[in-house]
């Protein structure tokens, strides 16, 4: 019997070690393109075109980043992108948590059917609705403004609603009943009781929304026509067309654009992992 448990323990350790090795290998494979981009951004041009190519830079040129920022209106495009991103994050956090609270904690006729319809929208590809949306926004005069990029975030997203609903369902209804006895309405319960208890899910939605808005290329390409209103993604594409052979500058620009996303996930990854737990944990 003792030998059996020892063998089982060895098997578990071997499987865990194998899984760690496999994840390490996959992680290295996935991070190589990112490292190649960063190292290329630090090389002089003559080193980039050298054959055979080298992975690590022999000469580190930090000036590439300063030259890239000076080559196109980087800070103006960064402000435009940040403005859109902040409003999109606020819209997604507020709208999805509010809608999910209704589906999780309120009883009204047709709730299950409506929730099923909301989830069914996840099966519709975005390219299917792209033309109708553009026609709609064109009819109401929003093309050329940031409104088509910001306003839809205040009307909810099917996956985020589902994520928040799972967290709300894990919260004991006795909290809501006690608050109602004290005279609190549902708006107060949602804002003062539910939101603090679902912080991991809210942070997950905020991270996903930030990544989607910050890295959005197609939306600004469709709706933004004034060069003064360009986002970083569009500005980087324009810069690429102007400097197709300056790979060190292009990689420096791509690194600068990607840096906020990497930093955000690095500092908030614990909340992101907790937020993706659809059971929501045990609360209340």
Q: What is the dihedral of CA 240, 241, 247, 252, to 10 degrees?
A: -20
Tell me the two tokens of residue 41: 């951004």
| 70 class by beta-carbon count within 10 Å (0-12 exposed, 13-18 middle, 19+ buried) | exposed
Read off the pLDDT of residues 123-160 as tens digits, 9 standing for 90 and up: 888 888 889 999 999 999 999 899 999 999 999 889 99
Residue 28: both structure tokens together: 């290295």
Give the C-alpha separation, 148 to 219, whole Å: 8
Neighbours of 28 (CB within 10 A): 10
Using CA atoms, how far apart are residues 43 and 251, in angstroms rounded to an integer?
10
Token digits of residue 270? 């614990």
pLDDT at 55 over 60: yes
Q: Look at residue 283 in the predicted model and tell me its pLDDT.
A: 46
CA distance 264 to 213: 13
Q: Per-residue pLDDT tens for 2-26?
A: 555 566 566 777 788 888 888 888 9
221: its two tokens: 């390409």
Q: How far apart are CA 85 and CA 201, in angstroms?
A: 18
pLDDT tens-digit profile of 169-187?
Answer: 888 888 888 888 888 888 8
pLDDT band at 27 (very low <50, low <70, confident <90, very high): confident
End-to-end CA distance of the chain: 43
pLDDT digits (tens, 9 = 90+) for 203-246: 889 988 999 999 999 999 999 988 889 999 998 888 877 756 68
Q: Where are the alpha helices (DSSP H) in the chain?
A: 2-41, 45-48, 63-71, 74-105, 111-120, 126-139, 147-150, 158-169, 173-181, 186-189, 195-197, 199-214, 218-223, 232-242, 247-275
* Alpha carbons 226 and 223: distance in angstroms, whole number: 9
């Amino acid at each position: 019997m003792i030998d059996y448990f020892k063998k089982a323990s060895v098997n578990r350790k071997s499987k865990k070690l194998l899984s760690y090795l496999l994840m390490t290998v996959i992680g290295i494979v996935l991070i190589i393109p990112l490292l190649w981009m960063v190292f290329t951004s630090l090389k002089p041009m003559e080193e980039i075109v050298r054959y055979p190519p080298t992975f690590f830079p022999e000469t580190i040129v930090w000036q590439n980043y300063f030259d890239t920022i000076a080559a196109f209106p980087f800070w103006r495009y960064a402000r435009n992108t940040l403005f859109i991103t902040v409003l999109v994050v606020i819209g997604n956090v507020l709208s999805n948590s509010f809608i999910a609270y209704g589906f999780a904690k309120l009883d009204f006729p047709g709730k299950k059917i409506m929730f099923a319809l909301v989830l069914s929208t996840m099966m519709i590809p975005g390219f299917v609705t792209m033309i109708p949306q553009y026609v709609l926004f064109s009819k109401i005069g929003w093309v050329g403004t940031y409104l088509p990029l910001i306003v839809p975030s205040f009307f909810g997203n099917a996956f985020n609603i589902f994520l928040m609903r799972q967290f709300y369902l894990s919260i004991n209804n006795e909290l809501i009943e006690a608050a109602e006895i004290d005279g609190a309405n549902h708006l107060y319960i949602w804002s003062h009781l539910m939101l603090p208890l679902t912080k991991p899910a809210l942070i997950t939605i905020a991270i996903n929304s930030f990544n989607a808005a910050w890295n959005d290329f197609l939306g600004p390409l469709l709706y933004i026509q004034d060069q003064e209103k360009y986002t970083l993604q569009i500005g980087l594409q324009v810069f690429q067309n102007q400097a197709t052979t300056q790979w060190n500058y292009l990689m420096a620009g791509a690194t600068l654009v990607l840096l906020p996303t990497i930093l955000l996930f690095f500092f908030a990854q614990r909340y992101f992992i907790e937020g993706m737990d659809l059971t929501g944990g045990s609360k209340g």
